[in-house]
């Protein structure tokens, strides 16, 4: 082989180059023209999307000595990340400007976090995956703490960092155990080792426990959820939006690459662990969310519960379950983008609007945004005709298909009392009198995109076929069992 084939990692190279260029360009941009960096970031995302779209992979292509893989799942999730980061930037521009965070570092850090997610998504070796996890996490720690004057943000960053370091330690420890058991760091070789002669079972399972813990931390499911509410609450809302969206796609990819790609042979073992994580998350996440008075904390517990539902599809350990989980994650990310988009609109200079009561009478202030928020709440609650219904439908179908009827029953009962707190937001917006009467102001691009985003929840809830098909095809083409 003469040269290295760069194509599998082309979108990553684009983002890395863009991040470096913006870092330099930003030095020469005066404060008043900071939007140059902003638009450069958006441009980079656009180019990366186009590059991914032009080089779509039907079957998996490995590169860099099997360190990375570009397959249809990777393409799909990467594009998902690009779109959600781009929307996040559009929605939070006003918010960042008002708080002095509309700076070059912010964009560069966001791009590096994105790069980390992409590395996770395309990782085909334990090392690559771990590198992606770290790159993503370190950038996010810095972003959370970037509002230095705010104690809560600093505290959140500290918590995130300490717990995150612990989690990646566990992941690394687990990976090294599996390496010990199978003799390889390569996802494919580990999978082959598991299928061949029986490796050291005890060592393997011992490592598996730590790997699952590391993944669970990334996803933020009970009992590894402690960081989620604090970070969601403490971080500037714009970065809460970032943490709550694209990294969930990467988290799904991490679980898919490790548990299915490498450790499918041990599915019977991790299935049981995921059942526990899933049940605890949906039951506790929904329950604790009820008592929250902060929107961000409430959505944090909602995220915990939703990742529990996502695992409900994943733990079936078959292609249908994985594609259901993938659909669930995409639907969840789409919904979260819209809901935090409205939360961002509510906030103004020096006013975070993160209390639930800030939603009071929104219908009388801005009926349209109240309607978008209503859609997101019903989507999170899984009520048709929103996309959240099909997300739940698919994971329940996958679970019941595997014989886990009881799991689906636990899931629906938890979503019943989960509906309570989503409905409370609707109640505040529609039934209560507003505290203030000023309508929400939004930039023109945000108005268009946020409306489209909200309506997409409805459209995908009525015509989900394309997305369901896409998720199924992606997993089939990428040779997941």
Partner 1 sequence: MPPYLSLAIWVPIVAGLAVLAVGSDRNAPTARWIALMGAIAGFLVTVPLYWQFDVTTSAMQFVERTEWIPRFDIHYHLGVDGISVLFVLLNSFVTVLVVWAGWEVITTRVAQYMGAFLIMSGLINGVFAALDGVLFYTFFEAMLIPMYLIIGVWGGPNRVYAALKFFLYTLLGSLLMLVALIYLYNVSETFAILDWYKVPLELTAQILLFVAFFLAFAVKVPMWPVHTWLPDAHVEAPTGGSVVLAAITLKVGAYGFIRFILPIVPDASRYLADFVITLSLIAVVYIGFVALVQADMKKLIAYSSISHMGFVTLGFFLFSPLGAEGGLAQMISHGFVSAAMFLCVGVMYDRMHTRLIADYGGVVNTMPRFAAFMMLFAMANSGLPGTSGFVGEFMVILAAVKANFWLGFTAAITLILGAAYTLWMYKRVVFGPVANAHVAALTDVSRREFWLLGVVALAVLAMGVFPKAFIDVMHVSVTDLLDQVAKSKL
* Piece in contact with partner 1 (CB under 8 A), picked from 9-17, 155-163, 342-350, 394-402: 394-402
Among 409, 435, 448, 452, binds partner 1 (CB under 8 A): 409
Using CA atoms, how far apart are residues 331 and 456, in angstroms rounded to an integer? Answer: 10
Residue 292 corresponds to which tokens in the numbers above? 């929250």
Using CA atoms, how far apart are residues 106 and 96, in angstroms rounded to an integer? Answer: 9
Cβ atoms of residues 311 and 398 within 8 Å:
no
State in angstroms the smallest separation of the CB of 50 from partner 1: 29
Bridge partners of residue 355, in order along the sequence: 294
Q: Which is nearer to partner 1, 101 or 419 (CB)?
A: 419
Residues 369-388: x/- map of binding to partner 1 (CB under 8 A)?
---------x----xxx---
Measure Cα distances from 293 to 201, 340, 363, 420, 444 in Å. Answer: 47, 16, 20, 14, 31
Which 439-468 positions form the footprint of partner 1 (CB under 8 A)? 464-465, 468
Q: Which is nearer to partner 1, 66 or 401 (CB)?
A: 401
Question: Should residue 415 be labelled a site residue for partner 1 when binding is judged by CB under 8 A?
Answer: yes
Among 138, 472, 474, 475, binds partner 1 (CB under 8 A): 472
Q: Which is nearer to partner 1, 138 or 468 (CB)?
A: 468
Question: Should residue 430 be labelled a site residue for partner 1 when binding is judged by CB under 8 A?
Answer: yes
Q: Which is nearer to partner 1, 4 or 462 (CB)?
A: 462
Residue by residue, DSSP assigns 267-326 as HHHHHHHHHHHHHHIIIIIHHHHHT--BHHHHHHHHHHHHHHHHHHHHTT-SHHHHHHHH
Question: Should residue 421 be labelled a site residue for partner 1 when binding is judged by CB under 8 A?
Answer: no
* Piece in contact with partner 1 (CB under 8 A), picked from 6-14, 93-101, 281-289, 426-434: 426-434
Q: Which is nearer to partner 1, 200 or 465 (CB)?
A: 465
Report the first-to-last Cα separation within the chain, whole angstroms: 31
Residues 330-369: x/- map of binding to partner 1 (CB under 8 A)?
---------------------------------x---x--
Using CA atoms, how far apart are residues 117 and 77, in angstroms rounded to an integer? Answer: 9
Question: Should residue 322 be labelled a site residue for partner 1 when binding is judged by CB under 8 A?
Answer: no
In degrees, to the nearest 5, what angle opens at C-alpha 229 toward C-alphas 455 and 83? Answer: 35
Question: Should residue 72 be labelled a site residue for partner 1 when binding is judged by CB under 8 A?
Answer: no
Using CA atoms, how far apart are residues 26 and 34, in angstroms rounded to an integer? Answer: 8
Q: What letters, b where the CB count within 10 A reaches 16 and e where it falls short, cover 25-58?
A: ebeebeeeebeebbebbbebbebbbebbeeeebe
Question: Should residue 290 be labelled a site residue for partner 1 when binding is judged by CB under 8 A?
Answer: no
Question: Should residue 295 be labelled a site residue for partner 1 when binding is judged by CB under 8 A?
Answer: no
Cβ atoms of residues 399 and 408 within 8 Å:
yes
Among 47, 423, 455, 459, binds partner 1 (CB under 8 A): 423
Q: Which is nearer to partner 1, 206 or 420 (CB)?
A: 420
Using CA atoms, how far apart are residues 192 and 354, in angstroms rounded to an integer? Answer: 49
SS3 335: helix
State in angstroms the smallest separation of the CB of 462 from partner 1: 8
* Residues in contact with partner 1 by the rule CB under 8 A: 363, 367, 378, 383-385, 389, 393, 396-397, 400-401, 405, 408-409, 412-413, 415-417, 419-420, 423, 426-427, 430-431, 464-465, 468-469, 472
């Amino acid at each position: 082989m003469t040269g290295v084939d760069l194509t599998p990692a082309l979108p990553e190279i684009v983002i890395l180059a863009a991040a470096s260029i913006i870092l330099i360009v930003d030095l020469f941009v005066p404060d008043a023209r900071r939007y140059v960096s902003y638009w450069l970031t958006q441009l980079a995302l656009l180019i990366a999307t186009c590059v991914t779209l032009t080089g779509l992979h039907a079957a998996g292509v490995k590169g860099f000595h099997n360190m990375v893989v570009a397959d249809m799942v990777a393409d799909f999730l990467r594009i998902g990340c690009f779109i959600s980061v781009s929307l996040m930037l559009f929605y939070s521009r006003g918010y960042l400007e008002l708080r002095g965070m509309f700076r070059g570092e912010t964009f560069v850090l966001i791009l590096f976090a994105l790069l980390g997610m992409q590395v996770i998504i395309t990782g085909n070796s334990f090392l690559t995956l771990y590198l992606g996890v770290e790159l993503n996490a370190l950038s996010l720690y810095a972003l959370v703490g970037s509002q230095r004057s705010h104690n809560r943000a600093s505290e959140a960053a500290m918590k995130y960092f300490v717990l995150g370091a612990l989690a990646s330690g566990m992941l690394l420890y687990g990976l090294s155990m599996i390496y010990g058991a199978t003799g390889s760091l390569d996802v494919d070789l580990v999978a082959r080792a598991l299928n061949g002669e029986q490796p050291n079972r005890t060592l393997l399972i011992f490592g598996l426990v730590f790997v699952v813990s590391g993944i669970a931390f990334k996803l933020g499911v009970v009992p590894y959820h402690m960081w989620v509410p604090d970070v969601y609450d403490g971080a500037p809302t714009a970065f809460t939006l970032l943490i709550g969206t694209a990294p969930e796609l990467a988290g799904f990819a991490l679980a898919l690459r490790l548990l299915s790609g490498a450790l499918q042979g041990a599915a019977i073992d991790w299935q049981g662990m995921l059942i526990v994580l899933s049940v605890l998350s949906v039951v506790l996440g929904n329950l604790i969310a009820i008592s929250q008075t902060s929107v961000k904390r409430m959505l944090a517990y909602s995220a915990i519960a939703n990742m529990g539902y996502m695992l409900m599809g994943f733990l079936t350990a078959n292609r249908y379950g994985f594609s259901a989980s993938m659909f669930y994650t995409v639907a969840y990310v789409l919904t979260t983008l819209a809901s935090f988009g409205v939360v961002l609109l509510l906030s103004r200079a020096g006013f975070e609007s993160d209390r639930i009561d800030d939603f009071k009478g929104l219908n009388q202030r801005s009926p349209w945004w109240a309607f978008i928020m209503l859609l997101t709440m019903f989507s999170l609650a899984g009520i048709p005709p929103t996309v959240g219904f099909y997300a739940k439908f698919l994971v329940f179908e996958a679970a019941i298909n595997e014989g886990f009827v009881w799991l689906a029953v636990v899931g629906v009962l938890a979503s019943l009392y989960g509906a309570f707190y989503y409905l409370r937001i609707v109640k505040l917006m529609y039934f209560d009198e507003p505290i203030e009467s000023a309508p929400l102001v939004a930039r023109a691009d945000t108005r268009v995109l946020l409306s489209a985003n909200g309506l997409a929840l409805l459209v995908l809830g009525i015509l989900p076929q394309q997305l369901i098909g896409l998720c199924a095809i992606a997993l089939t083409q990428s040779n997941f069992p």
